[in-house]
Amino acid sequence: MADVPRLLLARAFLERLHELPRRPWEVGGWLLGYWTEDRAAIVVTHGTPPAVRGTAFGIMIRGKGHRRRFDEAWACSNGHVTFIGDWHTHPGGPTVPSQQDQRAMRQLAEDADYGTPIPVIAIAACPRWKGSTTQRDVAFYSRAPDRTIHRLGPEIIDELPEPAQAIPRWPWPSAVRYS
Protein backbone atom coordinates (compact mmCIF):
# COMPACT_ATOMS: atom_id res chain seq x y z
CA MET A 1 0.00 0.00 0.00
CA ALA A 2 1.32 3.44 -0.93
CA ASP A 3 1.98 6.09 1.65
CA VAL A 4 -1.13 8.18 2.09
CA PRO A 5 -0.37 11.89 2.40
CA ARG A 6 -1.78 13.99 5.20
CA LEU A 7 -4.36 16.52 4.06
CA LEU A 8 -4.25 19.97 5.62
CA LEU A 9 -7.42 21.80 4.66
CA ALA A 10 -8.31 25.47 4.98
CA ARG A 11 -11.50 25.80 7.02
CA ALA A 12 -12.73 28.70 4.84
CA PHE A 13 -12.68 26.52 1.72
CA LEU A 14 -14.41 23.61 3.47
CA GLU A 15 -17.13 26.01 4.62
CA ARG A 16 -17.61 27.15 1.02
CA LEU A 17 -18.28 23.57 -0.04
CA HIS A 18 -20.76 23.04 2.80
CA GLU A 19 -22.63 26.23 1.82
CA LEU A 20 -23.16 25.39 -1.85
CA PRO A 21 -26.79 25.87 -2.87
CA ARG A 22 -28.88 22.87 -3.81
CA ARG A 23 -28.90 22.21 -7.53
CA PRO A 24 -30.15 19.33 -9.69
CA TRP A 25 -26.86 19.43 -11.63
CA GLU A 26 -23.20 19.05 -10.72
CA VAL A 27 -20.90 22.03 -10.38
CA GLY A 28 -17.20 22.08 -9.68
CA GLY A 29 -13.88 23.85 -9.76
CA TRP A 30 -10.17 23.50 -9.26
CA LEU A 31 -8.40 22.65 -5.99
CA LEU A 32 -5.43 24.87 -5.29
CA GLY A 33 -2.68 24.40 -2.76
CA TYR A 34 0.74 22.83 -2.49
CA TRP A 35 2.75 19.90 -1.18
CA THR A 36 4.82 20.39 1.95
CA GLU A 37 8.56 20.42 1.38
CA ASP A 38 8.95 16.87 2.73
CA ARG A 39 6.08 15.67 0.45
CA ALA A 40 4.31 14.17 3.46
CA ALA A 41 1.24 16.43 3.26
CA ILE A 42 -0.93 18.27 0.79
CA VAL A 43 -2.20 21.68 1.84
CA VAL A 44 -5.50 22.68 0.20
CA THR A 45 -5.78 26.44 0.55
CA HIS A 46 -8.39 27.42 -2.03
CA GLY A 47 -10.86 26.20 -4.57
CA THR A 48 -12.03 28.14 -7.57
CA PRO A 49 -15.73 29.05 -7.52
CA PRO A 50 -18.05 27.06 -9.78
CA ALA A 51 -18.11 28.55 -13.27
CA VAL A 52 -20.38 26.31 -15.37
CA ARG A 53 -23.02 23.76 -14.66
CA GLY A 54 -22.83 20.15 -15.63
CA THR A 55 -25.56 17.56 -15.90
CA ALA A 56 -27.36 15.71 -13.15
CA PHE A 57 -24.62 13.07 -13.24
CA GLY A 58 -21.41 14.75 -14.33
CA ILE A 59 -19.41 17.84 -15.13
CA MET A 60 -16.41 18.64 -17.29
CA ILE A 61 -14.18 20.95 -15.29
CA ARG A 62 -12.07 22.87 -17.76
CA GLY A 63 -10.16 26.13 -17.70
CA LYS A 64 -13.16 28.40 -18.36
CA GLY A 65 -13.71 30.47 -15.26
CA HIS A 66 -10.92 28.71 -13.36
CA ARG A 67 -7.72 29.58 -15.18
CA ARG A 68 -7.94 33.28 -14.29
CA ARG A 69 -8.31 32.42 -10.58
CA PHE A 70 -5.44 29.95 -10.80
CA ASP A 71 -3.21 32.55 -12.44
CA GLU A 72 -4.11 35.02 -9.70
CA ALA A 73 -3.32 32.50 -6.95
CA TRP A 74 -0.05 31.56 -8.61
CA ALA A 75 1.03 35.18 -8.93
CA CYS A 76 -0.08 36.23 -5.41
CA SER A 77 1.77 33.27 -3.85
CA ASN A 78 4.92 33.68 -5.97
CA GLY A 79 4.32 30.31 -7.59
CA HIS A 80 3.79 28.44 -4.34
CA VAL A 81 0.06 27.73 -4.65
CA THR A 82 -0.72 25.61 -7.69
CA PHE A 83 -3.27 23.22 -9.19
CA ILE A 84 -3.59 19.99 -7.21
CA GLY A 85 -6.88 18.57 -8.46
CA ASP A 86 -10.57 19.40 -8.60
CA TRP A 87 -13.71 19.55 -6.54
CA HIS A 88 -17.28 18.88 -7.63
CA THR A 89 -20.71 18.14 -6.25
CA HIS A 90 -22.74 14.97 -6.20
CA PRO A 91 -26.32 16.27 -5.94
CA GLY A 92 -28.19 13.86 -3.72
CA GLY A 93 -24.90 12.19 -2.66
CA PRO A 94 -22.93 10.06 -2.00
CA THR A 95 -19.36 11.34 -1.60
CA VAL A 96 -17.86 8.23 -3.20
CA PRO A 97 -15.86 8.59 -6.45
CA SER A 98 -17.86 7.40 -9.43
CA GLN A 99 -16.24 5.60 -12.36
CA GLN A 100 -16.16 8.96 -14.15
CA ASP A 101 -14.35 10.47 -11.12
CA GLN A 102 -11.84 7.62 -11.14
CA ARG A 103 -11.17 8.17 -14.86
CA ALA A 104 -10.67 11.90 -14.21
CA MET A 105 -8.18 11.12 -11.42
CA ARG A 106 -6.31 8.76 -13.74
CA GLN A 107 -6.13 11.47 -16.41
CA LEU A 108 -4.89 14.05 -13.88
CA ALA A 109 -2.24 11.61 -12.64
CA GLU A 110 -1.02 10.33 -15.99
CA ASP A 111 -1.20 13.40 -18.24
CA ALA A 112 1.99 15.41 -17.70
CA ASP A 113 0.20 18.60 -18.79
CA TYR A 114 -1.64 18.65 -15.44
CA GLY A 115 1.50 18.27 -13.32
CA THR A 116 -0.41 16.27 -10.70
CA PRO A 117 1.10 12.78 -10.34
CA ILE A 118 -0.83 12.43 -7.06
CA PRO A 119 -4.06 14.36 -7.70
CA VAL A 120 -6.65 15.19 -5.08
CA ILE A 121 -10.39 15.42 -5.65
CA ALA A 122 -13.09 16.66 -3.32
CA ILE A 123 -16.67 15.48 -3.63
CA ALA A 124 -19.40 17.51 -1.94
CA ALA A 125 -22.77 15.86 -1.36
CA CYS A 126 -25.54 18.42 -1.35
CA PRO A 127 -29.31 18.41 -1.70
CA ARG A 128 -30.63 18.07 -5.23
CA TRP A 129 -34.13 19.47 -4.62
CA LYS A 130 -35.97 21.59 -2.08
CA GLY A 131 -37.03 19.38 0.80
CA SER A 132 -34.30 16.82 0.09
CA THR A 133 -33.02 14.88 3.09
CA THR A 134 -29.49 14.58 1.69
CA GLN A 135 -26.96 15.38 4.38
CA ARG A 136 -24.22 17.78 3.35
CA ASP A 137 -20.85 16.09 3.42
CA VAL A 138 -17.45 16.54 1.80
CA ALA A 139 -14.88 13.82 1.17
CA PHE A 140 -11.35 14.12 -0.19
CA TYR A 141 -9.48 11.46 -2.16
CA SER A 142 -6.00 11.08 -3.62
CA ARG A 143 -4.70 8.71 -6.26
CA ALA A 144 -1.34 7.21 -5.41
CA PRO A 145 1.34 6.35 -7.99
CA ASP A 146 0.39 2.68 -7.56
CA ARG A 147 -3.09 3.70 -8.83
CA THR A 148 -4.90 3.10 -5.56
CA ILE A 149 -7.43 5.69 -4.45
CA HIS A 150 -7.35 6.71 -0.80
CA ARG A 151 -9.87 8.68 1.20
CA LEU A 152 -8.06 11.43 3.07
CA GLY A 153 -9.06 12.52 6.55
CA PRO A 154 -8.54 16.28 6.55
CA GLU A 155 -6.82 18.16 9.33
CA ILE A 156 -8.53 21.54 9.43
CA ILE A 157 -6.38 24.66 9.55
CA ASP A 158 -7.98 27.94 10.59
CA GLU A 159 -5.35 30.29 9.21
CA LEU A 160 -3.91 30.12 5.74
CA PRO A 161 -0.18 29.44 5.60
CA GLU A 162 2.02 32.38 4.63
CA PRO A 163 2.32 31.62 0.89
CA ALA A 164 -1.46 31.59 0.49
CA GLN A 165 -2.41 34.60 2.61
CA ALA A 166 -2.06 37.10 -0.26
CA ILE A 167 -4.64 35.30 -2.43
CA PRO A 168 -7.95 37.19 -2.36
CA ARG A 169 -11.12 35.57 -1.10
CA TRP A 170 -13.14 35.01 -4.25
CA PRO A 171 -16.90 35.50 -4.12
CA TRP A 172 -19.05 32.39 -4.05
CA PRO A 173 -22.60 33.77 -4.08
CA SER A 174 -25.23 31.52 -2.54
CA ALA A 175 -27.57 31.96 -5.50
CA VAL A 176 -25.18 31.34 -8.40
CA ARG A 177 -26.33 31.57 -12.00
CA TYR A 178 -24.39 29.20 -14.20
CA SER A 179 -23.91 29.47 -17.95
Which amino acid does the sequence have at 167? Answer: I
Look at residue 146 and tell me if it is in a domain.
yes
Classified as helix, coil or strand, 68 is helix
Look at residue 170 and tell me if it is in a domain.
no
Instruction: Name residues whose C-beta falls within 8 Å of residue 15's C-beta, 6 or more positions apart in sequence.
Output: none
What is the C-alpha separation between 116 and 84, in angstroms, rounded?
6
Look at residue 45 and tell me if it is in a domain.
yes
So what's the pLDDT on residue 133? Answer: 80
For strands 154-157 and 6-10, give the pairing.
parallel
In order, the DSSP letters of 124-164 are EEE-SSTT--PPPEEEEEEE-TTS-EEEE-EEEESS--GGG
Number of domains making up the chain: 1
- Polymer length of the chain: 179
So what's the pLDDT on residue 2? Answer: 54
Which residues of the chain fall below pLDDT 70? 1-2, 173-179
Query: What is the C-alpha radius of gyration for the chain, rounded to an integer number of angstroms?
Result: 15
CATH of residue 151's domain is 3.40.140.10
So what's the pLDDT on residue 29? Answer: 93
